Amino acid sequence: MTFNRRQFIQAAGAGLGASALGIPSIVRAQGAPIRLGLMTVKTGPLASGGLDMERALIMYLRERDYTLAGRKIELFVGDSGGVPAQARSKIQELVEKDRINVMIGPLAAGEALATDDYIRQQSLPTLSVAAAEDMTQRKPNPWFVRGTSTSAQCAHPLADYCYKTLKYRRMAVIADDIPYGHEMCAGFQRVFEDLGGKIVQKTFPPLTVPDYGTYLAQLKTNIDGIFLGFAGSNGFRYVRQFNEYGLRGKVNIVGGMTALDEAVLRNMKYEAIGIITTCWYSAKLDTPLNQKFVEAFRAEAKYDPGFYAAATYVEAAVLEAALKAVKGRIEDKTAFMKALRGIKVDTVRGRVAFDQYGNVVGNVYIRKVEREEGRLVNTVIYTYPNVSQFWTYKPEEFLKNPVYSRDWPPAKNLEG
């Protein structure tokens, strides 16, 4: 049966659908909007970062008139509250009710681990913000790509910097008692001790601890520094109490990638000045792409973008590049995932590529909190280029060891 254009229109008007014409469903779907899910945190201690994730993603889509690779984008947002079980139920809702094609998120490592099997079952293309190590290591999820970093990917170079540049030899670590905190501290410990340093104290307060007084009272002061592995607003709360306890000047603070994020720096004053942190991003990166992003974000939010805002902005750039590579055909999931893992793209964090496990390879920045034009900023003072999740270790040797945790690597230098 052959149709010319006039006959096609007449048939369609008479109720003869595209399926009756023998047009494959995957082709028909390409005329529909791409349904993009964002799994973030809008309530609880991680909410300040989660809200920035949503704001930056909406900015990216709005700047492109909600169109990527020639296809309209519809955004659906889920709030996990930072609770792994709730993250799973909310992702199920995004998939089964909202029928999303692709997801950005979740935020926290525990949430990613709790939803790993569901993402596999649903073959859901996922661009993760969560840093859960093993999802791109010993148990790689074929539907999972991460354009930010693993928990330890930025902690590795900071440990190198602390030992080689700052000349620290004895340190403590403290982090939220969640997988993200465990993995970040473990990676820092491994590199620092492999170089010859000693981690003499490790502490893991609950994520929602109301006060850090007990932990500060127990902090050793015969150390060179303490590494903070906090997320959300907890870094701000710890540093504020650290100063109230008179510890400023007695123990140096260095921080992981979310400890003193720009989202919390806006609430701080002198207490944060001089603190060194590590991250794959800084609002002070001097590139045209980043300058444009920072100006737009500051105009809307009235403060600088940090880890959380840059995370979804970067993931959206990765998504757009992959969609262009497959000419918008996200319904071909296998081709889309191959494109995701194979692209190299310039983003606000710098140029990114991906390893064979779906994890990013990109720059990591050592930053110092400074005051500029009446606000605190994370100024870049050193760059480690093209950092892998495996640092300088051989991947095959790295993967023979257990995943980073509270117990691995063993803490051989703790002092009572």
Same domain for 139 and 218, yes or no, is no
Buried b (16+ CB within 10 A) or exposed e, 94-124: bbeeeebbbbbbbbbbbbbbbbbeebeebeb
Q: In this predicted model, what pLDDT tens digit does every residue of 376-391 receive, in sequence order?
A: 999 999 999 999 999 9
Q: What is the structure's pLDDT at 16?
A: 41
Same domain for 85 and 186, yes or no, is no
Same domain for 377 and 252, yes or no, is yes
Name residue 199's beta-bridge partners: 171
Same domain for 368 and 358, yes or no, is no
Give 249's pLDDT tier (boundaries 50, 70, 90): very high
Same domain for 57 and 102, yes or no, is yes
Same domain for 367 and 351, yes or no, is no
Give 31's pLDDT tier (boundaries 50, 70, 90): confident
DSSP SS3 for 242: helix
**Does residue 410 belong to any structural domain of this protein?**
no
The domain total for the chain is: 2
Same domain for 217 and 249, yes or no, is yes
Give 30's pLDDT tier (boundaries 50, 70, 90): low
Tell me what percent of the residues of the chain surpass a pLDDT of 90: 85
**Does residue 279 belong to any structural domain of this protein?**
yes
**Does residue 131 belong to any structural domain of this protein?**
yes
Same domain for 171 and 267, yes or no, is yes
Q: What is the structure's pLDDT at 215?
A: 97
User: Whole-model pTM above 0.75?
Assistant: yes
**Does residue 5 belong to any structural domain of this protein?**
no
Q: Give mean pLDDT, residues 236-252.
A: 95
Q: In this predicted model, what pLDDT tens digit does every residue of 80-109 receive, in sequence order?
A: 998 999 999 999 999 999 999 999 999 988
Other Cβ atoms less than 10 A from the Cβ of 142: the count is 15
DSSP SS3 for 91: helix
Tell me what percent of the residues of the chain surpass a pLDDT of 70: 93
Pick the closest to residue 403 from 194, 136, 88 (CA basis): 136
Looking only at the bridges linking them, the beta strands covering 71-79 and 34-40 are: parallel
**Does residue 58 belong to any structural domain of this protein?**
yes
d(CA 27, CA 253): 56
Helix (H) or strand (E) holding 401: none
Same domain for 240 and 210, yes or no, is yes
Q: Give mean pLDDT, residues 189-217.
A: 96
Direct distance between the N- and C-terminal alpha carbons of the chain, in angstroms, rounded to an integer: 84
Same domain for 82 and 227, yes or no, is no
DSSP 144-172: EEESS--SSTTHHHHHHHHHHTS---EEE
pLDDT at 356 over 80: yes
Give the E-state strand segments of 21-143 in sequence order: 34-40, 67-68, 71-79, 102-104, 126-128
For 144, 151, 198, 306, 396, the CA distances from 137, given in Å and listed in that order, are: 11, 12, 26, 26, 10
Q: Is omega for the bond preceding 409 within 30 degrees of 0, making it cis?
A: yes
d(CA 67, CA 52): 21
For position 264, which CATH number holds? 3.40.50.2300
Q: What is the structure's pLDDT at 303?
A: 92
pLDDT at 20 over 50: no
Q: Quick one: tokens of 115?
A: 């939803």
Same domain for 306 and 389, yes or no, is no
Same domain for 252 and 168, yes or no, is yes
**Does residue 91 belong to any structural domain of this protein?**
yes
Give the residue numbers spanning the domain of 339. 27-150+287-362
Mean pLDDT computed over every residue of the chain: 92
